Amino acid sequence: MTATDPALTALAQGWCALSLLHGKIEAHVERALQAKHGLSVREYSLLDVLNRQHDGEGGHLQMKQVADAVVLSQSATTRLVTRLEERGLLGRYLCPTDRRGIYTEVTEDGAKLLAEARPTNDTALRESLDEAAKNPELAPLVKAVEAVRTPA
């Protein structure tokens, strides 16, 4: 294979299209969340992930798991948690079974803001996908995104 191999060129074009779709979606959703709720996409994602925690086995996430879920480094996630904690949207507490572990949970104010922001996020996401579907290069990727279902 060479750098000009058609298979590699197609792969690079596919990656560029995926990156373009992601960028368009994230920018549109970011503008909507910032304008209506004062939240970034990352902040919304973090609140959403942490709000899905539960008291059952494996229901609370360690910081590395949270970082993986919001696609940030562990240090960037910790800084984001600290900012949202300072805003009163998150709280931290010691793990009851391992005093070395610290968990993060969504506060009542955080849950309220998340509930208010969810329709904005969902609408902006839908708008972004609908707009991208008009682009023949992005349309197959939009279909792929729409076909993904979360396991039950």
DSSP 26-39: HHHHHHHHHHHHS-
Per residue in 28-81, pLDDT tens? 999 999 999 999 999 999 999 999 988 777 778 888 889 999 999 999 999 999
Per-domain residue ranges of the chain? 7-143
Torsion angle of alpha carbons 18, 20, 26, 27, nearest 10°? Answer: 180
Q: Which of 12-16, 60-64, 105-109 has the highest mean pLDDT?
A: 105-109
What CATH fold (topology level) applies to the domain 7-143? Arc Repressor Mutant, subunit A (1.10.10)
